[in-house]
Structure 1
């Protein structure tokens, strides 16, 4: 059944005298802080948020003692199907859930992936998220990237998690296997935007959005490196683009890895695994954030998936075969 719901919203608040004299949009953001500033501003402009019964502009000054009334309907964000798709849920409460995404699961419906996505699964598991922007999805993982994602179950949680992501207080740490031997860790600060040559690809380009990635070495092999990567920003394909940009693309990346490379005289098992690795070797290993309702700092860890650990074991065997 298609999810097209509307949720009535009726809120009332008296402006405290200490807030009097500020702009309406500023006061509304403090009194109704479970909603984003942009959403509140739109409601003011549309006449859904009134002051003593009158429609004002967002910039109009409001005095203490005035009564704000918000009456509106929150509409579903799209016509999406709820689908019974199994989810690996690591943690869940009334406000959020944290899941461990498998490879191959698309996060959000798009061209070529109208259904069968994480969003469709969420609508089945938590039907009320149809009333939360993007069904509560506040950040994405690429289709073939595995690991931890947080989903907001309420509007308030969504607003606060998005604010944390914007303030860069959510810690997202990944592990990757890259082509080439990295000598030391570092920081990549290079803007990312759509490639002018191929619109499906992202690239480091002048005028792109700021993107900052930190990386360090966990283990070196003859021609590869196991790395830990921490995102400071969250651009599309950021880790894949940045690591390729500095000359260490991810194993198995069909878009950014370029020419296939193998260690000289490598064991046939390793050669086969490197050739046939079905996806970019990238896993969202750690997630840490402030709980949107309690403020408590929470953290989760996801074990490395089987294909990742098997490749690491083959790389270790290869390195040991050539020691000395």
Structure 2
């Protein structure tokens, strides 16, 4: 992989009313195009100085100092630009919103060195080579479909990342879960790597795992399954899949968290047939809401569930209509 760098040189004067505050806090306010963590790294590395001297993140300023940022922003060009179709539902000079199909990996990694959404983004938007991770600020699993936002500038990426961190970005998912659920609720259960299977995630003790909160509500009870709407408060790896499995209602088709493949007792032949050929988790990111990082306007998008998900749902709804359920809808 070949890395190039972009130079950043900026100078700011600390306002007097910002005296008696931590260096990193003041710097984050003055250099607000960059994330707090990036600024802290620059301070630790001596690339952001106070009156020509290196200082620690926690050091207090008095006001009136000159802050000089002389840093390099690493740009990774080791990823190839590839002509891969993307379903772009919105774009402007600052952000791109994509409806990701099933089977498309978001970011290159072990087992997927190319052929990813990142490679497709670099081909369609070459300027993303100068933005870390080609502007990707959050991910969807390979076989989860739906909406994702990508930043076209470093400033937009910083703003979107902050919305994810302060939980102001709204993300909602449709999922078909196993079992007939009585009502919705909130799952507040920390998540960490599975202690034995490192490719999996699992609910973990609070002292070990990262906070993870998922709100879910019942949209429709089916004969043997439930269509739910999940809203993420946090964004941990595989969060919805892990949480729904944790409460005993794993997502239909989930090859990792649904356990051994099993069909509900008394399922119709039609539903059985569709379920057997549905080779992924029935999870779709259908709603995305955010504050535009440049204009400050509240924006939202919706994406219809894909055809294979709809076919599965249609057969389950037909099964309900013909055979009913013990629950009164």
TMscore range, shorter length: over 0.9
User: Does 2:308 correspond to 1:307?
Assistant: yes
* Number of residue-to-residue matches in the alignment: 323
Question: 2: CA distance between counterparts of 1:72 and 1:197?
Answer: 41
Question: 1: CA distance between counterparts of 2:56 and 2:319?
Answer: 68
Q: The residue matched to 2:111 in structure 1 has which SS?
A: coil
TM-score by structure 1 length? 0.94
User: Does 2:319 correspond to 1:318?
Assistant: yes
Q: Could you tell me which residue of structure 1 aligns to residue 92 of structure 2?
A: 93
Q: Could you tell me which residue of structure 2 aligns to residue 127 of structure 1?
A: 126
Question: 2: CA distance between counterparts of 1:144 and 1:187?
Answer: 24
Shift of 1:262: 3.0
TM-score by structure 2 length? 0.92
Q: Residues 106-150 of structure 1: CA distance to partner in whole angstroms, max 9, x if unpaired? A: 011111000111111122222232332322211110000000011
In structure 2, list runs of 5 or more residues that go unmatched: none
Q: Could you tell me which residue of structure 2 aligns to residue 58 of structure 1?
A: 57
- Shift of the 191–126 alpha-carbon distance from structure 1 to 2, 3 Å rule, reads same
Q: Residues 16-56 of structure 1: CA distance to partner in whole angstroms, max 9, x if unpaired? A: 22223433322211110111122122222323223333333
Asked if structure 2 preserves the Cα contact closer than 8 Å seen for 1:273 and 1:311, the reply is: yes
Q: Could you tell me which residue of structure 1 aligns to residue 221 of structure 2?
A: 220
Q: Could you tell me which residue of structure 1 aligns to residue 253 of structure 2?
A: 252
Structure 1 moving runs of 4+ over 4 Å? none
Shift of 1:265: 4.2
- Within 5 Å, give how 1:73-222 maps onto structure 2: 73-77=72-76, 79-206=78-205, 207-222=208-223
Task: Identify which range, 193-202 or 49-58, moves more after superposition.
Answer: 49-58
Q: The residue matched to 2:84 in structure 1 has which SS?
A: coil
In structure 1, list runs of 5 or more residues that go unmatched: none
Shift of 1:241: 0.8
User: Does 2:8 correspond to 1:9?
Assistant: yes
Q: Residues 37-80 of structure 1: CA distance to partner in whole angstroms, max 9, x if unpaired? A: 22122222323223333333334444433322212221114621
Task: Identify which range, 117-126 or 238-247, moves more after superposition.
Answer: 117-126
Question: 1: CA distance between counterparts of 2:243 and 2:15?
Answer: 49
Q: Could you tell me which residue of structure 2 aligns to residue 45 of structure 1?
A: 44
- Shift of the 145–174 alpha-carbon distance from structure 1 to 2, 3 Å rule, reads same
Task: Identify which range, 126-135 or 189-198, moves more after superposition.
Answer: 126-135
